[in-house]
Amino acid sequence: MSDDSANRLLLHQWLLRLGGLLLIGFVACLTFISVQIVHESSLEELHPADVIVVFGAAEYAGHPSPVLKARLDHAFDLYQKGLAPVVITTGGAAADPSFSEGGVGRDYLIRRGIPERNLIGETQGADTAQSATRVAVIMQTNGLHSCVAVSDAYHVFRIKKLLEHQGIGTVYVAPRPGSRPRSVAERTYAVLREACSYLLWKLGMN
């Protein structure tokens, strides 16, 4: 075997080992994050705070989807228990520019009986990260320092990290009841999706 062939073989073997190590590292990191996501999903941190933040989901022509309605109803229950005097609803417009998730959520909670003065609608966020950024600005502008974040069970870990990254000092989580998928396959997919989204955000790619 010539020297060039030997060098190419060594380089190929080195690249394979490097690729293997990177893959092992990626899997280990994803597993660690997934464990944290599952742990956070089991928490119900019912502590007094300055504000309850409801993260958006789909709305249909001005009406909340079943998922969004369940999140809003959970936030309403927390408000009724006196956990916070203010509720922020989040989410921008999707296909229909006439309505936004945050606006639909705010209007729904008004109809349920929360006074308009106790509601703030964040209506520009196109995704979770943008909504977290805008919520942080709203809170800091209004002198609000702590919040209870309401969303689905496997979503609250990433929400908590995003809000803390934006400088919110105390973030509690209150996943809506019954929001974990039923089957093992669905749960695995949901956790891995959230873990990948969080990892991409940490790497500055999302």
Instruction: Report if residue 64 sits inside a domain.
Output: yes
Residue 78 structural domain = 41-201
74-103 pLDDT per residue, tens: 999 999 999 999 999 999 987 778 899 999
How many structural domains is the chain composed of?
Answer: 1
Confidence at 4, pLDDT banded by 50, 70, 90: low
Instruction: Report if residue 33 sits inside a domain.
Output: no
Dihedral of the CA atoms 174, 178, 181, 184 (nearest 10)? 100
Residue 132: HSE in the Cβ half-sphere, 13 Å Cα cutoff: 23
Instruction: Report if residue 30 sits inside a domain.
Output: no
Q: Is 70 exceeded by the pLDDT of residue 41?
A: yes
Confidence at 60, pLDDT banded by 50, 70, 90: very high
Are 52 and 148 spatial neighbours (Cβ–Cβ below 8 Å)?
yes
Top mean-pLDDT range of 22-26, 104-108, 177-181: 104-108
Give the bridge partners for 51, in sequence order. 147
CATH of the domain at 50: 3.40.50.620
